[in-house]
Amino acid sequence: MRFAEIIGNEALKDALVRMARSGRLGHALLLTEENGGGAFALALALAQFVNCREPQENDSCGVCGSCHKYGKLIHPDLHFVFPVSASTALSESEKKGPISDYFLPAFRELALANPYFTEQQLYDAIGIENKSGLISVNEAKRIAEKLLLRAAEGTWKTMIIYLPEKMNAEAANKLLKLLEEPPQGTLFLLISHNPERLLPTIRSRCQPIAVQPLSRAERQRAGAGENDNAEFREIAISLLEAGLAKRLIDLFPQWEMLADLGREKQREWCLYMERYLRKILLVSQGLADLADPAPEEEATLRGFAAKIRPTFYEKAFAALEEAIASIGSNVNPKLVFCDLSNRLLLAL
């Protein structure tokens, strides 16, 4: 992928090119994004640029042998790590210690079709829709094995790690050792949605890069992962309407629907609800342009903004963060969403 193909983040693209050209590109970059925000596309473009044989002033050439292989995600010095779990598509031996390599064909197909994919779209593509992905110590060992080898063709061996916060403790400690003493010619590109969940020592060894969220128009142009899920929005609206009317009985169908989703979709809904509440808060403060509402939702957002009291938002965000933590700890989802619904009602 070339930088010219990426929608949005123009200043960041220019900065990455300048860093690479001036030799100020560190051995590890931590790109932080909203889910489906384009960090993966930026990581691919940077990896292609640093190994391009005939780089242009502000981009890779796109036609050399290296760029051709990067365009198909098959360059021997380009490696991917992402959260995985056991799947029926794996053999019995593979199920005992699943790693990213077992899912690479499906991952490449997804990334080539939509480099702005979301976490849930990844899990759907590799066949673990209702499970939480994990980066295990087996994966960390495989990373070390790959990076100890010399670069096969390019100047840099690039390791793109999608959602490093999904590493368990043992894997995180092994990655930390690699970051402390990186093999020569290695470039780590970490893409995170929750960098605060990484070990502080890992964060301290990475150069932080904030990827700005795409506007609604940019998401449409890029074919990015859709933030405005109609099903999620309907549940959010129903919960807020029932809470404002103090109709406890109307909350039951909503939290039961949420409890029936897989854990990752439950977590996705909580994140969606946080974004939806931020939109309402921005509208209530006269900052509708920053909220960037879709035309069909603007009237609903203004209606809620007029009715919801200012003290609600802090309590709601705290309740949603606790729900996300409980989902990650495998708490019974009916208890999680019953509690969340009650807390939202009481705060409204």
Instruction: Provide the 8-state DSSP code for 136.
Output: -
Residues 23 and 35: their CA atoms lie apart, in Å, by: 30
Range scoring the smallest mean pLDDT among 79-83, 272-276, 289-293: 289-293
SS3 206: coil
Please tell me the predicted confidence (pLDDT) of residue 87. 80
Within 13 Å of residue 296, how many CA atoms lie on the same side as its CB?
Answer: 6
Provide the terminal-to-terminal Cα distance of the chain, rounded to the nearest Å: 47
SS3 134: strand
Q: Which sign, positive or negative, has the C-alpha torsion 31, 34, 37, 41?
A: positive
**Beta pairing partners, 210:** 32
Please tell me the predicted confidence (pLDDT) of residue 238. 93
Residue where the block lists tokens 């933030």: 227
Please provide the CATH number assigned to the domain covering 3-222.
3.40.50.300
Residues 341 and 194: their CA atoms lie apart, in Å, by: 24
Q: pLDDT tens digit string along 294-304?
A: 777 889 999 99
Please tell me the predicted confidence (pLDDT) of residue 223. 66
In the predicted model, is pLDDT for residue 336 greater than 90? yes
Taking alpha carbons only, the member of 211, 124, 197, 131 closest to residue 163 is: 197
Element (H, E) at 189: strand 186-192
All CATH 1.20.272 domain ranges in the chain, comma separated: 230-347
Mean pLDDT of the chain, nearest integer: 90
In sequence order, what are the residues at sequence separation of 6 or more whose Cβ sits closer than 8 angstroms to the Cβ of residue 14? 58
169-190: average pLDDT: 92
SS3 81: strand
SS3 114: coil
In the predicted model, is pLDDT for residue 283 greater than 80? yes
Taking alpha carbons only, the member of 81, 77, 80, 82 closest to residue 65 is: 77
Apex CA 334: angle with CA 333 and CA 336, to 5°? 60
Q: pLDDT tens digit string along 20-43?
A: 999 888 899 999 998 888 999 999
193, 34 Cβ separation under 8 angstroms = yes
Please provide the CATH number assigned to the domain covering 230-347.
1.20.272
More confident residue, 154 or 328: 328
Q: Per this entry, what is the length of the chain?
A: 348
Q: Which residues of 13-35 are buried (b: 16+ CB within 10 A; e: fewer)?
A: beebbebbeeeebebbbbbbbbb
Apex CA 235: angle with CA 343 and CA 233, to 5°? 115
Which pLDDT band holds residue 129 (cuts at 50, 70, 90)? low
Q: Beta strand pairing status for 28-32 and 207-210?
A: parallel
Largest pairwise CA distance in the chain: 65
CB atoms within 10 A of CB 74: 11
Instruction: Provide the 8-state DSSP code for 167.
Output: B
78-104: average pLDDT: 88
All CATH 3.40.50.300 domain ranges in the chain, comma separated: 3-222
Q: Give the amino acid at 271.
A: L
Residues 63 and 53: their CA atoms lie apart, in Å, by: 9
Instruction: Provide the 8-state DSSP code for 335.
Output: H
Dihedral, 179, 189, 100, 74 alpha carbons, nearest 10: -120
Residues 87 and 71: their CA atoms lie apart, in Å, by: 28
